[in-house]
Amino acid sequence: MAAARAFVRGVRLGTYSIVRSRSLIFNSVHRRGISACIDPSIGLSDEQKEFQKVAFDFAANEMAPHMAEWDQKEIFPVDAMKKAAQLGFGGIYVNPDVGGSGLSRLDTSIIFEALSTGCVSTTAYISIHNMCAWMIDTFGNKEQREKYCPDLCSMEKFASYCLTEPGSGSDAASLLTSAKLQGDHYILNGTKAFISGGGDTDVYVVMCRTGGKGPKGISCLVVEKETPGLSFGKKEKKVGWNSQPTRAVIFEDCAVPVTNRLGAEGEGFSIAMKGLNGGRINIASCSLGAAHASVILARDHMCVRKQFGETLSNSQFLQFKLAEMATKLVASRLLVRQAAVALQEGRPDAVSLCSMAKLFVTDECFSICNQALQIHGGYGYLKDYAVQQYVRDIRVHQILEGTNEVMRMIIARSLLTES
């Protein structure tokens, strides 16, 4: 409450003097009428509309009021995420027999889009956690699935995805973290960089080298936090995504049971990439939520801010800008949903479509949020206004889970090699 009050602020807007609080701002995003043309529920089934509403309500009530505080104080909101898990959001596309919700990739996208209107950073972490739970559910054996998935789906335990290293980012298949077989354990040595949740999470899904150079020498191990030889770097200071910690994950003679390997030796890179196909739709969906919220914030600001004797909404230049933002938002949403369906159906265009969605949507949604900030003028640059946080939080979506340059490589490779 005190925190919410702290954000209450009187702001002079031309001839208008209005008091805006974060909750007021978010009430406008979550509760007031949305023009049909950008309504994210249009075209969905009744069931999808139901859980979309649950996600929007959760975003409005449990996330949005805290979004700024989590950002400024760098709070990893464990309790809020556990509440999200009670709604089934800890393992959305994990099978129900191990505690998951068993929903489709499209359903998942709808949920992440709605949640991220309340806090992009927290939703993005939840999406990475979901990706890890799905990897264990899909590539794990019976014992592994039963051991890890129920606690991950309830978010009693949290997961991190460990692929990137200081020397291997875009060229992920060049990773060096070694896993040498010794009896019934692998001995891990190496460092993972930029790990979301690192240090605060319990389960690390780690890609490491058990064989020779290249992707075929990589395996995937589940490493538990308490394992001797596992430690963490300092918490990174970031532009956005501040409600989730990012740290290096360090392995020094870290002994991991062979029984913790997902799939066969050498399958780790393929498992990592399959996880990322869904991850890319999820991250794009988080960008959609930010862009959706930003379009509404920009529209509302245009309706109250007066300059040159009239509201900004009377400027045809700004009307056109808003129309373009809305058009790009809807085009982005269509592409994400198309990619989600392709992945769900295992179609041959799925990998390319996931990359196209990640490339197009994270670029366009960043531009939408940035333009919404511009429409707010100087107020958009103030932390009292949510729009700047959406801009900061989604900037990184153009970089991680494969940079947007890497997305272009994947798409071009498919165009040039497939007949």
Residues in touch with ligand FAD (CB under 6 A): 128, 160-164, 169-170, 194-196, 238, 241, 246, 396, 399-403, 405-406
User: What is the rounded CA–CA span in Å between residue 16 and residue 399?
Assistant: 40
Q: For residue 213, how many other CB atoms are within 10 A of its CB?
A: 11
Taking the complex as a whole, how short is the minimal distance between the CB of residue 355 and ligand FAD, in angstroms? 13
Contact between 248 and 195 (Cβ < 8 Å): yes
Taking the complex as a whole, how short is the minimal distance between the CB of residue 119 and ligand FAD, in angstroms? 15
The DSSP bridge partners found for residue 251 are: 190, 230
Selecting among 226, 236, 401, 418, the annotated active-site residue is 401
Cα 315–316–321 angle (5° rounding)?
A: 100
**Closer residue to ligand FAD in complex, CB, 282/344:** 282
Closest CA to 344 of 354, 334, 335: 354
**Closer residue to ligand FAD in complex, CB, 31/234:** 234
Taking the complex as a whole, how short is the minimal distance between the CB of residue 351 and ligand FAD, in angstroms? 17
**Closer residue to ligand FAD in complex, CB, 195/256:** 195
**Closer residue to ligand FAD in complex, CB, 105/129:** 129
Q: CA 201, 203, 205, 210 torsion: positive or negative?
A: positive
**Closer residue to ligand FAD in complex, CB, 194/385:** 194
Contact between 122 and 243 (Cβ < 8 Å): yes
**Closer residue to ligand FAD in complex, CB, 32/237:** 237
User: What is the rounded CA–CA span in Å between residue 346 and residue 137?
Assistant: 17
Taking the complex as a whole, how short is the minimal distance between the CB of residue 234 and ligand FAD, in angstroms? 14
The residue sitting closest to ligand FAD, measured at its beta carbon, is 169
Q: CA 192, 193, 198, 199 torsion: positive or negative?
A: positive
Which parts of 101-255 fold into alpha helices (H)?
Answer: 105-116, 120-139, 142-153
Residue 165 is classified by DSSP as B
User: What is the rounded CA–CA span in Å between residue 363 and residue 386?
Assistant: 20
Q: Give the end-to-end CA distance of the chain in Å, rounded to a whole number.
A: 60
Taking the complex as a whole, how short is the minimal distance between the CB of residue 367 and ligand FAD, in angstroms? 17
Taking the complex as a whole, how short is the minimal distance between the CB of residue 385 and ligand FAD, in angstroms? 23
Look up 345 and say whether it is catalytic: no
Could you give the residue numbers annotated as active site? 401
